[in-house]
Structure formats: C-alpha cells, structure tokens
Structure 1
Amino acid sequence: MVFSQTLGNLAFQDFHQRTLSSSSTSSARLICFIAAGLVIVLGIPPILIGAVAASTDWNMTTYGSPSPYERGETAMVLPIVLLHSTPTAVFVIGMGAIASAAMSSTDSCLLAATSIFTTSIYKAIRHQASDRELQWVIRFSIVILGIVGTSLTYLDDNIMTFWILSTDLTYTIILPQLICVLFIRVSNSYGAVAGFVVALVMRVLCGEPVFNLPVILHFPGCTLEDGVYVQRSPFKTICMLSALVSIPMFSYVASLLFNRGIVPERWDVFKVKPQGAPTPEDDARECDEPMLDTRC
C-alpha cells in the first residue's frame, strides 16, 4: 500500500498543493517538468491493463460474457481484471493498493480545499482569528465538504462523470493560473480574478451536456445534430488559452493603473502596489529638491 501510494503521489495527486508548498519558485517549476515526464511513464500501466481487458476471452474466466465494455462496467475494469485474471493474493494486494490510493486522494483533496478556504477566505475576513479558531474552521469545513462530495455521488450513476468534469475545470481554469504564477512575473491577483471569470464564463457558454447547458458560444465546426449543437473545435483548449492571455494582460493594466496613480491607492484591494512605492506627488517633490545638500 505504501509503495502504491508513493507511485500515485509522484505526478498526480494534489499537484497544485505540491507546487504551492515548494520551498521556492524554482523548485515548483522543476516539479512541473519532472511531473510531466512521470505522468507519461505512470500512464503506461493503466493502458496495459485496459489492453488486457480488451483482448481477454472472458468466456475463459469466471466473469463470463459479455465483456465489461458491453456491460457498461469499463470504470470497474481494474478490479474486474484483478479478480478474474489474477491469483487471489494479487487481487487482495491490488485492491488494498486501490483503497489506499483512493483514501489518500480523498483526504488530501479535503485538506487542500479546506486549507485554501481557511487561509485565503476566512482568515482574510477575520484577521484576528486565533490558531485554535482556524483549526475549528478547518474541521467544520471538512465535514461540510465531505457531505457535499458524498451527496454529489447520488446525482449520477457514473462517478467518472464528475472525475471528467473536475479534470475539465482544472484544465480550463486552474492550469492558466498555475502557469502564470510560476512563469509570468507580471501576474497578480487582479489578473487571476479576470482569468478565472473569463475561463468560467467561456466554458459555460460552450455548453455541457451533463448539466444540460446549451451551446451559446459557437466555435468553427460547431454543428447541429438531432436538434443539439455539438462543438467540433478544441473549445476547452480555447478557454484555457483565453484565460492564459487574460491573466497577464489584466495584471499589467491593474499594476499600471495603481503604480501610476491613475486609480487611487485606497481602491487597491489586493495590494499590488509595492509598499512605499513613490507616487507622482513624491516624484514631483524630489524633483524640486536640489541634487546636492549645500547646507552647512
């Protein structure tokens, strides 16, 4: 179980949490490139297991016909292969590894979400909150998120639907934020908010059959099939790239407005202007003063 958890954590689990907890920006960048290679390597075993399931003569096993694909059980292909195509000992060890990885992922996701809520939202509102109070907020948030997450599993029979949707949102919304934080120095909180809004609005307008959202934003190749518009363009990538462009653009404009004094500093909610940065009035006073102090 420990070995399986280690493999599962290398390149996938809570990737953003790992980068945010890095000791420096350079370490976080290095993790990105290492993880990119590990994702490819760790993707080979699932492909092989799927190939085994696709080529297996299920009549020769205790599972029988039809195949898992024909029964609509593709999401359970790993435990099915372990149960019907391997010795009992291998099945027990494999299921233990799956359970261990699932529990690890679940508690890590809960802790990551509640920690972000507590530090980025609650503590920002209640600056005087004590450590004990923050601990109780985290505990209460874990209970709420756990109930909400469990309730979502009853909305659809296929849990893979929610997995795909979460991956979709991670790709279109969170990935541009991560790239800008690590590699684009001009990025700030104003750009992050703008990028989030751009990505979310565009993704909703592109439509989503799971939530019965119609296609409003038509990209090239969008066709009408059985009375429903279907996107043929890589609209998720378009949403991601739009957010990636919006973040540095809005960040630069916000920094320019506050640093030049065009917008009053009291409106700088996210404090993008460096503390003690000179204002135009300060520059004018400095210009009026002599370059050399000639006083005795």
Structure 2
Amino acid sequence: MAVHLVGLAAIVVFYVLILLVGLWAARKQKSTGENPDSEDVMLAGRNIGLIVGVFTMTATWVGGAYINGTAEIIFSTGFVWCQAPFGYALSLVFGGLFFAKKMRSEGYVTMLDPFQRKYGGRMGGLLYIPALLGEVFWSAAILAALGSTLSVIIEIDNSIAVIVSAIIAIAYTLFGGLYSVAYTDVVQLFCILAGLWLSVPFAFSHPAVVSISTTSDKWMGSMETSDIGMWIDSGLLLVFGGIPWQVYFQRVLSSKTAFRAQLLSYVAAVGCIVMAAPAVLLGAIAASTDWNQTDWPGRVPIPAEEQKLILPMVMQYLCPPWVTFIGLGAVSAAVMSSADSSVLSASAMFARNIYKLIFRQKASESEIIWAMRFAIFGVGVMATVMGITIETIYGLWFLCADLVYVILFPQLVSVVYLKGTNTYGSLFGYCVGLIFRLLGGEPLIYLPAVMRFPFYDYEHDVQRFPYKTLAMLVSFSGIVGVSYPMQYLFESGKFPKHWDIFHCVVNIPDEVVMLKEPHEVEVNEMTQITKDINLMPNGQINPALKFSKEDLLSSGADNITDDTSSVSDDAKPEALREYDGGSR
C-alpha cells in the first residue's frame, strides 16, 4: 500500500507541475497582446526560439506511446522489430531536408494550407480526415500509455486514469495554445530523462533480473525470411509516414526562420534516438526478469493483453519506492504533455482550414479561436475514447502513421514539388490509395483482408507483402497520372472549359490570380519577395502574413521594405490577392 501512496503523491506533484507550467505559459500568451489572433495561438507568434523549439520537437515525438511502446515491443517481439524510434528519427531528418525550409519559407499557418491554396478548400477538407485520424490515434496511444501507467501505480481503473489525464492536458491547451504546449514539452523532456535513466541501474540490480547479455535471444528477437517484406513495409511507413504531420509542421512553422526550422528537425532526430535508449534497456530488463521472484500479482508468463504495462511494471516491481516516485510519477506527468500537441494540431487545422476557409470565410479572429477551443474539446474526447478501448499501445502508435503514409505523404510530395498536379489528380490519388489500403485489411480494427497480396499468410491472416507501400505508390501514381493528362486535355482545348468543374485548370474564376512565380512581384523595377500577401482594407500588407527580415535575406532578396507605398494601385489587386482554391 505504501508504494501506492507514493505513486499517488507522485502523480499529484508532477501533474500539478505540468498544469502550473501550462497555465504560466498561457499567461505569457496573453501578455503578448490583449487580443491575440488565431495565428499567434496556433504558432506562438512564430516566436519559438531554437532551444525551446528543439525541446518541444523532441518531446512531442518522445511521449507516452514512444517510451511505453518501445519497451513493450522489446519485451514482446524483440529489438529487431523495434523500428518506430529509428523510423521517426529518420522522418525528422528527411522532413528537415526536403520539407521544413519550403513550408516555413512560404509562411503557411498549417500543413493543409498549401493543399487548399492549390487544390481548393473542399479538397483540403477531404485531406483533413486522414490528418485528423492520425492525430487522434497518436493522442489515443499517448493516453493509453498514461492509463496503463496510472493503473499500475495506484491500481485505479484504466478508464478513470485516461479520463483524468485527458482533462488536465485539455485544460491548459484550451487557453495557452502553442505557448503552453511548448513549455510543458520542455518540462516533459527533463522528467523523462530523470525518470527513465534513474530507473535503469536499480532495475538492473534487482535479484530477479539476470544479465541481459545472457538473454539476448529473448529481447533481440528474430526475423524469418518471410517477414522481410513486412519489415521493409513497416520501416518505410514510419520514415515517410512520420513527415506529413501537423504536429511536426506546427513546430516548423512556429520557428523564427526557415534555417532554424531545419536545424531543430535534425537535432530533434538525435534526441529521439537518445531518449529511446533507456526504454530499450528497460524492455530488455523486463525480458530478462523472472517475474515469479517479484511482487507482480499477475500471471507468468505475462499474457499479451498485459504487455503494454511492461514499462510501469519494471519501475514499480524492480525499483525501490523512492525511484518509483520519481520514475513513474515523472513519466506519467511528462507523457501527458505530448497528448496536448496532437490535440492542438488537429484543432488548429479544423479552425483554420475547415471552419474558416470552407464555412466561415469572414469569421473574426475571436470566432476562430473559439472554434479551435471547441475542436480541442472534441478531439480530446475522441482520443480519450480510443485510448480506453484499444489494447496495444505499440499497435495504436503504429496505426496512426498508416493513413498518413498512404494518403498524405504522396499528396505532400505532389503539392510541394510537382507544380503540374491539380485537384483532379489529388482526388483520384486519394480515393485509389484509400481503397487499396482498406482492401488490404487491418487486424487492429478487425478489418478483414479482401485483397490478398502475394505471400499472404492464410494460417495467421497476415499480409507479408509490403502492401502499404504499394498503396502509397498507387496513390502517388494516381495523382500524377490524372493531373497531367487533365491539364493537357483542358489547356489544349480537347475538353471544353465548362467541363473544368473544379475550376483548377482553365475554368478559373476572375478572383483567382495566376502567378508564374508566386512569390516574386515586380514593382517599380524592384522585386519585393512576399508570400501570397493579403491586403487589408486600407491597402497595407497584413503584418501577420509578412516574412521576417531573416527569411527575406535567406531567400536572396536584395531590396526589402515593410511598406507598400511604392506599389501602384494597378499592381495591387492583380499581384497581391489571396484566393481560396484553384491551381496557379
């Protein structure tokens, strides 16, 4: 009972710490202005510094699902199948190399902005669905990890533990936005460092644990030749499915400069590997433990449905009470602050890309912020329900990258690098990718396989062919294979203009302006480099949409000015008009 009281005290102390930091950050948000606009709330005024940015990027990935799921998979199937930490670290590297600079230089507010600007508001809304599901699955995995941790500490019902954790995370996110999320992430990272690394030597020295060097056959795992296809499929899914996330781009877009956005991606990738190390060791220790010699009251060998509890079990039953206090309490409070990142990300996309750009184009900043707050509550509820009902943390963590990889990754590559793609190709690629993925089945959500690809394992009902990667390639091929022919057919006159029902090739409304170079506008023999600038009613450039001076310099601009007095009246409406939908 003493350990339970210690655990309860740990929860109270660390939850209060996280809550106070979140509320303090919310006050910092308010201090930046009496009436902050929605972009300030979503991106912290694009004022996240390099140090805080690195911490929040690393801590966002290294959450409850990351550490609990890593320990779980080491214990259950072995190190050879522990791909997620390395896959997500590589995704940060590739994200920094190919997407961070481009997205930040464009001055977008959310990941969906480029889709809606190029493919139209409704297509952007359709792409919001897999983005939302990914964020909800991610949040649910984190909450499930919290619930399992708390249920071990103080033997309370798992559902109650998940609900309490979600309420606290949602509370400060509602009022603090990215400021609260970022600063609680800093606390989170320090808590995980202290809690995990402190537990490792004490768990190693427990009498029930044998040397992990003598039990490598248990925790290293093995892979049959028939598993290679699955292993490659999973690895590619984690690497490239880890890029198209609003939770990632929210930090990229909140950076002061494009260079810093890249830099924090690279440093966070290293941080992800470092933070996975203690979880791997604790999983190996669990596999090297004779649980009959511990106070663990459950069955031995530990059944599959209880293996998601491995990390908190190691901390409680293999460590002294005071280490349990620091370890379990710190990790429980720390991983909670990753849930707020995903909840905020999904809510920001809803408020800006769905509510404002599709339904309420003239919504005030206050109205958008309130829409985001309602969305935070709704997304939090969905994640909480899934966190209670899904059994495996690692499986849920893996599933969250699935739809993102199959649908969003080829769409992101197309919208960023292929100027000729359009709404027709985007919609076709979306549909065929989704159909192929669903036909392959998904055991985690009890979806049977309708299409059995080569090497299908009929005995275990498992797809051994890399069918998820195939679905992604089919989706990408659909985007390209439809976009360019449709562009040719319309531009050559083989299809009449009125057939362009999406208004994205030739049947473009008058209010849509097409710029050959979207960010270079010739004004009085001087080039002013901007993003798609939206003029305010008084004719001045909206300051919330301007690049920073450092961004302009890094883009190669020779002449930089903050006013538009030199812009002729004729040039303004043609070159500087924002539009919703259509292809440039």
Q: List alignment gaps of at least 5 residues for structure 1.
A: 279-296
Among residues 158, 172, 189, which one is paired with 2:406 in the alignment?
172
TM-score (norm 1): 0.73
RCO higher in structure (CA 8 A, sep ≥6): 2
**1:28–1:182 contact (8 Å) kept in structure 2:** no
**Corresponding residue of 1:8:** 59
Instruction: Give the Cα separation in 2 of the matches to 1:43 and 1:263.
Output: 57
- Aligned CA distance change for structure 1 residues 275 and 223 (closer, same or farther; 3 Å): same
**2:316–2:328 contact (8 Å) kept in structure 1:** no
**Corresponding residue of 2:350:** 117
Instruction: Give the Cα separation in 1 of the matches to 2:430 and 2:254.
Output: 22
**Corresponding residue of 2:335:** 102
- Aligned CA distance change for structure 1 residues 68 and 45 (closer, same or farther; 3 Å): farther
1:26-45 → structure 2 map (5 Å cutoff): 36-45=269-278
**Corresponding residue of 1:194:** 428
**Corresponding residue of 1:17:** 250
**Corresponding residue of 2:362:** 128
1:162-241 → structure 2 map (5 Å cutoff): 162-184=396-418, 186-187=420-421, 190-225=424-459, 229-241=461-473
Instruction: Give the Cα separation in 2 of the matches to 1:244 and 1:20.
Output: 25
CA drift at 1:205: 0.7
Q: Please give the per-residue CA displacement for 1:90-112, whole angstroms capped at 9, x wherever unaligned.
A: 32222233233332222211111
Q: Is 2:478 the counterpart of 1:246?
A: yes
Question: 1:196 aligns to what SS in structure 2?
Answer: helix
Instruction: Give the Cα separation in 2 of the matches to 1:27 and 1:184.
Output: 25
User: What is the total number of aligned residue pairs between the two structures?
Assistant: 275
Among residues 290, 298, 319, which one is paired with 1:86 in the alignment?
319
CA drift at 1:127: 1.0
- Percent identity between matched residues is 36
Mean CA deviation greater in 236-245 or 107-116: 236-245
CA drift at 1:202: 1.0
**Corresponding residue of 1:294:** none
Among residues 374, 386, 398, which one is paired with 1:152 in the alignment?
386
**Corresponding residue of 1:281:** none
1:246-285 → structure 2 map (5 Å cutoff): 246-256=478-488, 262=495, 264=497, 267-269=501-503, 275-276=513-514
Instruction: Give the Cα separation in 1 of the matches to 2:515 and 2:444.
Output: 49
Instruction: Give the Cα separation in 1 of the matches to 2:462 and 2:478.
Output: 26
Instruction: Give the Cα separation in 2 of the matches to 1:46 and 1:82.
Output: 11
**2:430–2:475 contact (8 Å) kept in structure 1:** yes
Q: Please give the per-residue CA displacement for 1:215-242, whole angstroms capped at 9, x wherever unaligned.
A: 222221124337xx53221112222232
Among residues 306, 309, 312, which one is paired with 1:76 in the alignment?
309
- Aligned CA distance change for structure 1 residues 223 and 56 (closer, same or farther; 3 Å): closer
Instruction: Give the Cα separation in 1 of the matches to 2:331 and 2:476.
Output: 35
- Aligned CA distance change for structure 1 residues 96 and 253 (closer, same or farther; 3 Å): farther
Q: Please give the per-residue CA displacement for 1:50-104, whole angstroms capped at 9, x wherever unaligned.
A: 1011112334433267557346422111111111222333322222332333322
**1:68–1:74 contact (8 Å) kept in structure 2:** no
- Aligned CA distance change for structure 1 residues 36 and 249 (closer, same or farther; 3 Å): farther
Q: Is 2:193 the counterpart of 1:142?
A: no
Instruction: Give the Cα separation in 1 of the matches to 2:284 and 2:467.
Output: 30
Instruction: Give the Cα separation in 2 of the matches to 1:186 and 1:31.
Output: 31
Instruction: Write the letter of the residue equivalent to 2:458.
Output: L
Instruction: Write the letter of the residue equivalent to 1:138.
Output: M
**Corresponding residue of 2:177:** none
Instruction: Give the Cα separation in 1 of the matches to 2:265 and 2:491.
Output: 32
Mean CA deviation greater in 103-112 or 10-19: 10-19
**1:58–1:64 contact (8 Å) kept in structure 2:** no
Instruction: Give the Cα separation in 2 of the matches to 1:112 and 1:225.
Output: 41
Mean CA deviation greater in 157-166 or 119-128: 157-166
- Aligned CA distance change for structure 1 residues 208 and 65 (closer, same or farther; 3 Å): closer
**Corresponding residue of 2:106:** none
Question: 2:431 aligns to what SS in structure 1?
Answer: helix
TM-score (norm 2): 0.40
Question: 2:455 aligns to what SS in structure 1?
Answer: coil
Instruction: Write the letter of the residue equivalent to 1:194.
Output: F
- Aligned CA distance change for structure 1 residues 255 and 95 (closer, same or farther; 3 Å): farther
Mean CA deviation greater in 252-261 or 91-100: 252-261
CA drift at 1:136: 2.0
Mean CA deviation greater in 30-39 or 56-65: 30-39
Instruction: Give the Cα separation in 2 of the matches to 1:27 and 1:185.
Output: 26
Q: List alignment gaps of at least 5 residues for structure 2.
A: 1-13, 19-51, 63-87, 89-137, 139-246, 517-584
Instruction: Write the letter of the residue equivalent to 1:244.
Output: F
